[in-house]
Amino acid sequence: MAPKAETTQTLSTPTDSSSTSIDPIFYILKILPFSILRPPRLRLKLPSFTLPSPMTVFSLVLLTYFMVVSGIVYDVIVEPPGIGSTQDPATGSVRPVVFLPGRVNGQYIIEGLSSGFMFVLGGIGIVLLDLALDRTEPRVSRSLMLLLGSRLWSLLIL
């Protein structure tokens, strides 16, 4: 099939009302300030940004991960108590409660922070497992990273 020939259409554009205005005040306001004033000659330099170190980026990502998985947004919106308490029926003493009983979709602040800390430890375990694969490290340090990384990663999957 042969390609279609492109057709050009000329559209009549309306004339710009500001250039054909017959208002003398508009003309004076448009021309007069620029005939007297000149823009200053600025020699601005672009700011130079240096990239942060990889450890700084990793720390910020890890902190953000901790805040997200520990439920900071939930804590700000709902404003739950920091820790709960219950009264022991046998002795009558007040005992602290860390996990909110009876509600699946609720949490105390300390519950969210402790679970977020466990998730961060699991993430650090995954990083250590990755570092244990480096062949340039001595065998002892690779073995220690493998052992510690697997123990910390097991916190994540439990």
What is the DSSP secondary-structure string of 82-141?
SSEEEE-TTT--EEEE-S-TT-TT---HHHHHHHHHHHHHHHHHHHHHHHTT-TTS-HHH
- Calculate what percentage of the chain has a pLDDT beyond 70: 87
Task: Give the model confidence (pLDDT) of 99-123 as tens digits.
Answer: 888 888 889 999 999 999 999 999 8
Confidence of residue 59 (pLDDT cuts 50, 70, 90): very high
Considering only CA atoms, which of 119, 146, 150, 117 is closest in space to residue 133? Answer: 146
Please determine, for residue 52, whether its predicted confidence score (pLDDT) is greater than 60: yes
Please determine, for residue 9, whether its predicted confidence score (pLDDT) is greater than 80: no
Task: Give the model confidence (pLDDT) of 16-49 as tens digits.
Answer: 555 566 778 888 887 777 777 787 888 888 888 8
Rounded mean pLDDT of 67-73?
93
Rounded mean pLDDT of 67-91?
91
Task: Give the model confidence (pLDDT) of 124-153 as tens digits.
Answer: 999 999 999 999 999 999 999 999 999 998
| Token pair recorded at residue 64 | 């953000």
Rounded mean pLDDT of 54-65?
94
Please determine, for residue 63, whether its predicted confidence score (pLDDT) is greater than 70: yes
pTM to 2 decimal places: 0.62
| Token pair recorded at residue 145 | 């990273």
Name the more confident of 89 and 39: 89
Listed by start position, the domains of the chain span 54-157
Please determine, for residue 157, whether its predicted confidence score (pLDDT) is greater than 90: no
Please determine, for residue 11, whether its predicted confidence score (pLDDT) is greater than 80: no
